[in-house]
Every structure is written in C-alpha cells, then in structure tokens.
A and B are shown apart, each in its own frame.
Chain A
C-alpha cells in the first residue's frame, strides 16, 4: 500500500502541472511586480533601474493617498454593513418557515457579473430616468442630484450597490454559522427566561464570533482590492472622487503606460492585503475557540 502510494513519478505527474501553473501565474508575477516597481518602464522600451524612486514617489503622491483613503472608507463601510447582514441572518435563523427560499433569493445579486450589476445601477442612478430620481421626483423633490456626477455623493452612491451585491453572500455565511449552534443552548436559555434579544446578544453572537472575524477579513481585504464595479460605473471619477487603489493602479499602468509606477502600487496593494490578513488572523488566533458543550 505505502509503496504504491509513494510512487514519485505518479506524484510528480499529479502535482507538477498545477504547481508550475500557480508558480507561473501567481508567484513569479508577484515577485516581478516588486521588481518592476524598482524600474522606470513604459512597458515597451528597455527598463531603467531606479531603485526605490517609485516607492518614494508613492509616499508623496496625493492622488494615490486619496485613492487609498477611498479604499479605506469602503473597507470601513463594508465592515459596518456586516452588522446589517448579521441582523438579517439572525432573523432568518429563528427557525422561520421559508428560510431556505429567502436565503436563495438574497444570493441572486452575488451570482451576477460586476459589469452587469454596474450597468444596471448606472441606469438606476440615471439623473433623469433612473428609478431613484423618478421616485424622488414623485414624492416631491424637484431637483434630485446626479448621484454619480457629484464629488460629495459619488462614494456613498457606489457603496449602496456594493452592499446590495454582497448581502446574500454574508447572510449565507452567518446563517450557516448560526444554524451550527445547537438548539439545546437556546432552549436552556429560554427555560431560564431569556428573551429573544438576550439570546441573540449573549449566546448566538459570542458563538458566531469566529465566523464574524473571518468575514471581517473578507470584507476588509475584499474592499482594499475592489475594482470592477467602480471601474465600470465611474472610472474613478468625477475628478478622482471615487478612485480606489486598484483603479488607480490600472489607470497608471494601462492608460498612462507607467508600468514601473503601476507595479509599485500593485506591490503596495499586495503587502497591505497580506499584512492585514495576517494581523486580523493573529488577533483571532489569540482567543480560545468556544466549545459548544
């Protein structure tokens, strides 16, 4: 048995193709990104090694920091919206009839491409014919704003479809976690006279904490690398008011053809994502997992 299952040739045959692919498409490119960042390069002519210059320029680039600030706001907003998702999941998990159907309906936007969602929401926000402004006009607002064209409104206006898109995904995760809590705990608390809010706050919330921490990592890292929807809906505009880190990187590299500087941004993005994942994981690892007894 052991002899058959430690056949080196077979192992190589099974693992090598995938290993080479992931090295070639994921690992070597991230090393190259760090290296390109040390060069002045337009993607066509020869690279010119300039050391840390791009990374130093990044520190002084206001447009970059404003995009980083928008990414951070999105991360904050996404983390806060987890509270809504959790509340809905709590309602859904109260052994209510039709929970399965609700959970499936909520998931639908998550299945669609960001491009389709973005195009649909462009129409929803259309200044004269979109449903938002048609509705506002019908209840008496004479001049509703052009949501995506105002620098002060564009970010919140973009956050709504993002909240909409991911609702089902997080509700599903929370629902699964809450369903894992043994019913006996809840019954015991009920016998002791706890009401629904007390059960939610004192029993369900602490027991779902591990999953909540995972979703915080997902929401924060997902927000930092968010791209598709913003790229299609506003392309970072108006005037950079909705630019995020990934869209700024894309603009610098593929529009301004500054591949060296774009790579520096890409490498910075990678480091932030890895560091934040590590930090939040580290915070979760220190706490003992709660045992259901």
Chain B
C-alpha cells in the first residue's frame, strides 16, 4: 500500500519521464534477451563456419570469419569415408520404427486405460508413470546381460525394445489429457450402430488424436535420434551403429581434421534442426508437455 501511493505520486507529474523510463527498460530487456539468444546459437554458428574450412583456415583466421571459399568437400568426404552414411541410415530407420511402435502401443494403452472399463486400470497406469522416475543407468547392466543371453546384443532389436519401453511413459502421459477430453458421444453413437471396439479405436478415436500424435512422435524422434548410452553399450558392429555413437567413434579416430569433424557434427544435427525449422510450434508444445522427463 505504501509503495502504491509512492508509485502513483511518481506517475503524476513526470509521466513523460516515466514513458522514457519504460522505453529504456524495454530496451534493456531486449538487450538481455538478444544476448541470451546470441549465446545459445553462437557455438553452432562457429561449428557451421569451421565445418566449411580447412585446418589452416580454422587455426589462422579469426574464429568467426566467414569461410572464404567454403569447403563443401568436407561434407562429401566424411559422408562416405567415415561410414557416416551407414550410421545415418541406421539412425533413420531405428528412429522411425521405434517412434511408430511407441506411438501406436502407447495409444492402445491410453485408450484402454481412459475409455474402457476394467479393474486394475489405474494400477497399470501407475506402473507406466512410475517408470518415468527410473534412471536408465540402473537398468543397463541387467539389460546388457539379458540381451546377451538371448542373442540380442549387437542387434538393432535391443535398441528398439529399449527405446520403446523408456519412451512409453512420457508418451502415455502426453496422450492421457487428450484422451480424457475426447467426447463420449461419438463412441456411443458408434456402439449403437454396432461398431466393434477395434473398429472404433482404429477408425474413429485414433484419427481424432492426430494432432497430439504428431507432438508425441516428434518428441520421440528427438529422443531416439540423439540416444547414446544404449547404442554405445549394446552395439559393437559398425553396420548397426547409429549416428551418435558413429560420430563419436569417427571423431575419436580423426581428432585433428577440424573441418571433417565440423561436417560430421553438422550432418548429425541437421535433420533435427530442419525438422525444428518446419515444426517448431509442435516441438515447443511437445517439450513443454513432456517436461516431466527432463
């Protein structure tokens, strides 16, 4: 209250001063925001620049100088020479398959939990939700030894199983709110017309969730594309490695060619950056919704 009257007194006679102050204030806020934005992208701009230079240019020119004559050859060189093309394709198909499986299986579970009537549905949901709190590392040793026993180490299925299981909880969590909000009338009408549960799910409910499915799919893709520890632990053959581990190994062998390293890193992050360029709203929304995973 006291500060209130003081503020009003200030606002009275010096309103033009206050307006100027507000402008300066906003200017300052913009400077802070721009500074943070610059800090967030500057390392990536630097990466792009040195991916187009040779070592001589990297070491002798100032760090943020534009590459005079961009060495696109760095990209073509590492694409085939470093096995990057193989890793890239592995990343693509493992990511797509694991994402599709997670989204479909999670949709089925969410449908059964939210729309169907059975005992134990809340217990089953609880099992999925608690799994969100379990650190991946605590399951790593038994997963390795079990996959080893059943012949799944150095096999892409070990990745698919692990990705689907660990992404299932967060996917169900994002889907839940949407399923709870779906109107019952459509289903009631369908049942009266003699529609079976399977048809109702496949032809009515599942298509209705397409917008939230896109969000969960994108979140899954980002996680799967970037996953490191499972690939690093389970996969030993080059033909099955995905980009994260492939990039790591490639750079381990060629630590001195900065242009090649930059090109490799750019290739590994470009698909995500391009996706982000086109679908940034969905991604922002999805990450906000999936914030519990961390």
Contact = CB atoms under 8 A, between A and B. Distances in A.
Contact of B138 (A5, A28, A168, A270): A270
B108 interface: yes
A224 B43 CA distance: 26
A215 to B, nearest CB: 8
A68 B247 CA distance: 29
B140 interface: yes
Interface string B7-50: 11001000000000000011001101100110111011011001
A135 B64 CA distance: 11
A227 interface: yes
Contact of A105 (B40, B258, B272): B40
B108 A91 contact: no
A32 B232 CA distance: 21
Given A108-B273, A193-B4, A4 B142 contact: no
A91 B144 CA distance: 46
Given A116-B268, A232-B248, A246-B137, A29 B142 contact: yes
Nearest to B8: A193
B242 to A, nearest CB: 10
Given A6-B117, A113-B228, A259-B141, A21 B269 contact: no
B109 interface: yes
Interface string B255-282: 0001001000100110011001000100
Nearest to B128: A22
B20 to A, nearest CB: 15
A33 B245 contact: no
Q: Which 8 pairs from chain A and chain B are nearest by CB? A: A193-B7, A113-B226, A25-B165, A193-B4, A32-B142, A29-B139, A218-B294, A270-B138
Given A33-B141, A120-B47, 16 more contacts: A14-B111, A15-B113, A15-B124, A18-B105, A36-B141, A43-B144, A88-B33, A98-B33, A111-B226, A113-B268, A120-B44, A124-B46, A131-B63, A194-B7, A254-B144, A270-B135
13 contacts: A1-B187, A7-B197, A24-B161, A26-B131, A96-B29, A111-B226, A113-B225, A113-B269, A116-B244, A172-B291, A194-B7, A254-B144, A274-B134
